[in-house]
Amino acid sequence: MSLSVQFLSLLAMIGTGIGAGVFMDLIGTGVDATGKTSIIRKYAVPLEVIGWILIGCASFYVLFIVRDGAWRMYDPVAQICGMLLYASLFHRPFRFFGRVLNMVIIKPVVFIIRLLVKIITQIFKLLVKIVRFLLSPFIYLYNKVYNSFFKSDTE
């Protein structure tokens, strides 16, 4: 294996370490943003385990692309270096990018979805009120007739 291929694979493993740091930070931030009684908070540990499994599969896929799946002893060290590099250098820029993405894309989409749900709910409530109003004379008559059939004559 040439030196350039080894250097490329080292950079790839550092990159997977940075990606692992980003992904686990994303999961941790998402869990922290939920309420204390949220189902996401309840299943935080299985979510993190699934996250680590996905990171392992992704890093092996990168190894498979770069070196046909050949694993070297320095690969875990390179991944840990990548995670530490994320924690020391890239943490703030990624968090800033995440906040911008949240404000520009996610919050408006969630607002539009909530607005549509609220509009549909209000239309449905209005239709139910109209139907109840139109049926109210028939319900009144039914109750009068129903009650008169079951009244006793002794009263």
For the chain, the domains span: 3-149
pLDDT digits (tens, 9 = 90+) for 40-99: 888 889 989 999 999 999 988 988 888 777 778 888 899 999 999 999 999 899 889 988
Question: Side chain identity at 37, as an amino acid letter?
Answer: T
Nearest to 60 by CA among 100, 9, 130: 9
- Cα pseudo-dihedral 75, 81, 83, 86, rounded to 10: -140
Q: Could you give the residue ranges of the DSSP H alpha helices within the chain?
A: 3-33, 39-42, 44-67, 74-85, 91-101, 107-149
**What tokens appear for 129 in the block?**
């009120």
Which residues contact residue 65 at a Cβ distance below 8 angstroms, ignoring those fewer than 6 apart? 12
pTM of the model: 0.68
Q: Determine the average pLDDT of the residues in 103-111.
A: 92
